[in-house]
Structure 1
């Protein structure tokens, strides 16, 4: 079985070379599924993420004014909170991701969890910081991931602290 570092490297290469038209096509289909799903419709506070250029395009989610949108903010000791999304109140982090200046924590009822690869039973390989797994360890709400079809893998190493994602939207 491949190690997580190998999976990360392979997926970053695949994402960076993903055909733009195919990315847009899959993004539209996956978001159409997600935005009309029961889990989305029944949620009020949605935790999205600020994607890097090669990650899943979150524009439609971030623009949804019918929901309260929150985004992650990293804290010391690999901790994380979610804060209200305000595109006029963002700063670039050392990770190359935008996050809010605010330190007011908001608890979402649905979290869109980013990552690089997912298994069919919901386990994922993220970027290796462990921020989401630490947060999800005590999270009682709904977790989803929006996944391009090539990011699904048959087998993946699972560590004791890994938290599976409950709902995966892909094509």
Structure 2
């Protein structure tokens, strides 16, 4: 079994070199599935993430005005909250991620969990900070991930803190 660091490096490269037309096709197919799902239809407050250029393109979802959209904000001790998404009130963190200037925490009922690789049972390899696993440890709502075909792996190394996502949307 490959180590998480090795998989992170491999998946970042694969995402950065992903054929743009294939990426667009898979993104559209995954978003269509998600928007038609009961999970999306029943959610009132959805936590999305602000993608880096190589990550899953959330542009369409962030433009949705029918739902309350919140985004992650990192705090000290690798903690995280979600705050209302306002494209005019964002700043760039030292990690190169856009976050909200707000400090008002909002609890979503559906979280879109980012990552680099997943197994069929929802375990994932994220970026290594543990922010989502810490938040998800006490979260009782629904969790989903959007996964390109090459990001699915048969197994990954796990630890006791890893929290699986409940639903995977993929092509």
TM-score using structure 1 length? 0.99
Structure 2 residue runs without a partner (length 5+): none
Which segments of structure 1 move beyond 6 Å, counting only runs of 4 or more? Answer: none
Which residue number in structure 2 is paired with residue 30 of structure 1? 30
TM-score using structure 2 length? 0.99
Which residue number in structure 1 is paired with residue 14 of structure 2? 14
Quote the Cα distance in structure 2 between the aligned partners of 1:63 and 1:150: 27
RMSD between aligned alpha carbons?
Answer: 0.4
Residue-by-residue CA offset, 1:58-104 (whole Å, 9 max, x unaligned): 01111110000000000000000000000000000011000000000
Which residue number in structure 2 is paired with residue 118 of structure 1? 118
Deviation at 1:155, TM superposition (A): 1.0
Structure 1 residue runs without a partner (length 5+): none
Q: 1:3-152 residue pairs with structure 2 within 5 A?
A: 3-152=3-152
Aligned length: 171
Which residue number in structure 2 is paired with residue 159 of structure 1? 159
SS at match of 1:9: helix
